[in-house]
Structures are given as C-alpha cells and as structure tokens.
Amino acid sequence: MLWAPLGAGETFALEYHLTAGQPEPCHGRWFRRAGQHLDLTVRFAPGTGVGQAYRVWRLDGASPHKDVATLRVIDDRVHLADYDVPPGFHGIRWNP
C-alpha cells in the first residue's frame, strides 16, 4: 500500500525497537530547519533500572552532546515533547 505525503500540521506515530548493547545510550532525531515539532518517547524493558535521563542537543555531528534538562523516568518510560525546535540533534540520553 502506498501512503500519501503528510500535509501541513499532520503527524504520524512511528515505533521501532533498539537492542541492548548500543555503543551510546542515547536516542533522538536530527532537525535541519527550525520550527518543527519534537515528540519522543523511550520505553525501557521492565526492570532495566535506568538511573537518570537527560534531554540532549548538539548542533552538528562534530559537536558533543550537551545536557539541556533532566527528564523523569516514569513507569520505565521517558517522554520529551517540544515545539519550534532549533536545528540540530535533539534527543534523550540515559544512565543505565
């Protein structure tokens, strides 16, 4: 089935799974232009014991991640939503 492109203001929920053993405990998205909406949820396997989570940002691939804010882990999930994000990488980093 082919899908039509999203129109202005439309959203689409996408879910995928990451396996343990990733080289860096971080997940996020790149935004090439300002003014976009970010809605990101990371769900951990029950009993994973995630200690702390942080919102991170970096301007480009050569810059290190900067912790922007501390996020709460609730029921093995971390959620981040923001409007009008500046360009760059926005994501969630956590301490196992």
**23-42 pLDDT, tens per residue?**
456 666 666 777 778 888 88
Q: What is the pLDDT of residue 23?
A: 46
pLDDT bin (cut points 50, 70, 90) of residue 69 is very high
pLDDT at 62 over 60: yes
* Beta strand spans in 1-87 (E): 26-31, 36-43, 52-58, 66-71, 77-85
Mean pLDDT, the chain, whole residue set = 78
pTM: 0.70
Partners of residue 79 on adjacent β-strands: 41
Tokens describing residue 84: 């009008």
